[in-house]
Amino acid sequence: MYQYILFDLDGTLTDPKIGITSCVQYALRKMGIEEPDLDKLEPFIGPPLTDSFREFYEMDEENAAQAVRYYRERFSTVGLFENQVYPGIPEMLEELKRAGKRLAIASSKPTVFVKKILEHFEICQYFDVIVGSELDGTRSRKEEVVEEALRQLLPEKETEKYPDGNGGFDKAVVMVGDRKFDVEGAIEHGIASVGVAYGYAAEGELAEAGADYVVETVEELAKVLTAG
């Protein structure tokens, strides 16, 4: 049975589409690129921003870094609140806490923004540990975020049992997320993974990445996490 549960934020607990895509659109415009269709910017939800600007708009490192700065101009004051918690999430988190589970956030979004979002939507109290990336771009890879979340969430005596990350946690710890990056981060550290198909993964992405379970709804997710 799962005792330690790591959650991604965007596309897993909240639907951030309007905020993220509008801020990407803003950053692109400041870089001289017009993209009127917010739907085309959905792939920015999940992976590190720098990687996305480089991959989708062929920016070099310097321009990608500038685009991220423009993105944060809008996101830090407006975009982070253009967001909504998926129906049923607060009730699920409360149920898990009542059952004695220890919960963590493991997000590629900067920690300062993660905390503001959780506090704004009044779900911060459910999490024992909150881990995100740093504003300077460090710890942005999901593998790094999961590693730090595990370090903080699990007692020292538990982490010492499995120092090489080759398994052992899988029956007690699970990572929940909506993109392949979440699944890959879980696999890297030998823990189980649940992919949520109601988020922003492409069709088949989560199963192809190796998720142990793929769920279609929050209700189904709650059953998997409760049953383990």
Condensed to tens digits (0 to 9), the pLDDT of residues 92-142 reads: 999 999 999 999 999 999 999 999 999 999 999 999 999 999 988 789 899
Query: What number is the average pLDDT over the span 47-55?
Result: 94
Q: How many domains does the chain divide into?
A: 2
Question: Which pLDDT does position 228 carry in this prediction?
Answer: 62
The verdict on 36 and 74 lying in the same domain is yes
Label residue 76 exposed, middle or buried (CB < 10 Å: 0-12, 13-18, 19+): middle
The verdict on 45 and 104 lying in the same domain is no
Question: Which pLDDT does position 166 carry in this prediction?
Answer: 47
Question: Which pLDDT does position 207 carry in this prediction?
Answer: 97
Among residues 62, 81, 100, the one where a domain terminates is 81
The verdict on 26 and 120 lying in the same domain is no
Question: Which pLDDT does position 136 carry in this prediction?
Answer: 86
The verdict on 162 and 185 lying in the same domain is yes
Q: Is the pLDDT of residue 167 over 50?
A: no
The verdict on 97 and 208 lying in the same domain is yes
The verdict on 130 and 217 lying in the same domain is yes
Chain Cα centroid distance, residue 148: 14
The verdict on 64 and 101 lying in the same domain is no
Query: What number is the average pLDDT over the span 157-168?
Result: 47
The verdict on 107 and 150 lying in the same domain is yes
User: Is the pLDDT higher at 1 or at 151?
Assistant: 151
The verdict on 121 and 204 lying in the same domain is yes
Q: Is the pLDDT of residue 156 over 80?
A: no
**What proportion of the chain, given as a percentage, has pLDDT over 70?**
92
Among residues 81, 100, 115, the one where a domain terminates is 81
Question: Which pLDDT does position 227 carry in this prediction?
Answer: 84
Q: Is the pLDDT of residue 50 over 90?
A: yes
CATH of the domain at 32: 1.10.150.240
The verdict on 51 and 104 lying in the same domain is no
Active site positions, annotated: 8
CATH of the domain at 109: 3.40.50.1000
Label residue 158 exposed, middle or buried (CB < 10 Å: 0-12, 13-18, 19+): middle
Structural domain including 102 reads 4-15+83-227
Distance (Å, whole) CA 69 – CA 77: 13
